[in-house]
Structure 1
Amino acid sequence: MKISELSRVSGVPLPTVKYYLREGLLPAGRPLGRNQADYHEAHLRRLRLIRALIDVGGLSVAGVRQVLGAVDDDVVPGHHLLGTAHEAIAGVSRADRSTAGWLAARAEAARVVAARGWRVHERAHALDQLADAIAALRELGQEDMLTLLDGYAEATERLARQEVGLVLARGDRAGMVEGVVTGTVLGEAMLTALRRLAQEHTSATMAP
């Protein structure tokens, strides 16, 4: 198909498609002649993945480039790809990650992980994010929320086993790789939405 048809079928504006091509997010089509190229189903699939990562997952163009670079590298193990996806959605480091309060929260986050016996990198971005939340709760005098940490950890470990098991059950590497990316980025968006819906329901049934 021509680039105009790729734009029409995908629903992505033509200038945006051309931008993704210039940025290297979308592979070039097969040359047909002067200023003409042919695009296939693989381009459409990649374009839809890019839009999902940006529109639903909230990734920046730089984050998408980082993730897709790992996706396209055939030698990157799935576990490392997972780390790349986590890093892409980790966000910008906060400026106050050197205070005594934050460092204490970071140590507490590490203890939670150690207590579960989880095998994670000691410099994992998610540990810093967990410490951010712990430190903020303490600063706000909401320490009672921290009693939920063990419950959060238990629930998310059970969910993670299902997610990883589902992806590993796919026979082809391409499906596994895409599953890691979509499961991490879009799965997080889905989980957040479901949690908010559950909170609304529970509040309606429990609140006076």
Structure 2
Amino acid sequence: MRISELAEVSGVPVHTLKYYLREGLLMPGVPVSRTRADYGPEHLTRVHLVRALVEHGGVGIAGVHRILEALDSPPPSRHELLGVAHGTLVGPAEAQDATPPDPAVTAVVAALGWGVEDCVPVVRRLSEAVVRARAAGVELPDEDLLRYAEAMRAVARVDLDVAGRARSAEEAMRTVVLGTVLVDPVLVVLRRLAQEAESATRP
């Protein structure tokens, strides 16, 4: 199909598709003349992916590039795959940040006994969030932080069960990355609904 047909099928305007092409987010079509190229199902799949990441996931162009590179060359093991997915979503600037996490937050992470203390960029992001919340006057004692963490462990089990059903490393990587980016908003809304349901059961 021509780029105009790709635009019609995907719901993405031609000028946006050309932008994706210029930025390398969409692979070139197969040339059929000097001014025309044909696009296939793989292009439609890529457009849907990029659109989901940019418009719904709020991922910047540099982040989309990192995700696409990871999807094109996924690591062999599922655990390594998860590490690449997290590194991709954290981003190289954050990964190279030398600012150490808050020791109090690091201690809470260690108390979980998960053995994830070496996931420095992610622990640093958690530290920043916790410090910011506490600085704003939100009471977040270590006991409650541990309870939140255990609740998230249950969510993680669902995430990895879903990824485990993937038929290939590439599909698993796609599931982990897109699931993290696009399911996070779902979890936020479910938290609101759960709060409403739990509140209705209490005096």
TM-score interval (norm. to shorter): 0.7 to 0.9
Matches within 5 A, 1:163-178: 163-178=159-174
Matches within 5 A, 1:27-46: 27-46=27-46
Choose 67-76 or 45-54, whichever is displaced more. 67-76
1:142–1:56 distance in 2 versus 1, CA, 3 Å: same
Aligned-pair Cα RMSD in Å: 2.7
Offset of 1:29 from its aligned partner?
1.2
Identity %: 42
In structure 2, the residue matched to 1:14 is: 14
8 A Cα contact 2:110 2:117, kept in partner: no
Offset of 1:140 from its aligned partner?
3.1
SS of match in other structure, 1:192: helix
Offset of 1:81 from its aligned partner?
4.3
8 A Cα contact 2:26 2:43, kept in partner: yes
Structure 1's consecutive aligned runs of 4 or more residues displaced over 4 angstroms after TM superposition are 74-78, 200-203
SS of match in other structure, 1:37: strand
Once residues 190 and 166 of structure 2 are traced to their aligned partners in structure 1, the CA distance between those partners, rounded to angstroms, is 25
Once residues 144 and 115 of structure 1 are traced to their aligned partners in structure 2, the CA distance between those partners, rounded to angstroms, is 16
In structure 1, runs of 5+ residues without a counterpart are none
Matches within 5 A, 1:86-97: 86-90=86-90
Offset of 1:68 from its aligned partner?
0.7
1:126-155 C-alpha deviation (Å, 9 max, x unpaired): 211211122123323433454321111111
8 A Cα contact 2:106 2:117, kept in partner: no
1:74–1:206 distance in 2 versus 1, CA, 3 Å: closer
Once residues 29 and 103 of structure 2 are traced to their aligned partners in structure 1, the CA distance between those partners, rounded to angstroms, is 50
Once residues 189 and 15 of structure 2 are traced to their aligned partners in structure 1, the CA distance between those partners, rounded to angstroms, is 31
8 A Cα contact 2:75 2:81, kept in partner: no
TM-score (norm 2): 0.83
8 A Cα contact 2:4 2:14, kept in partner: yes
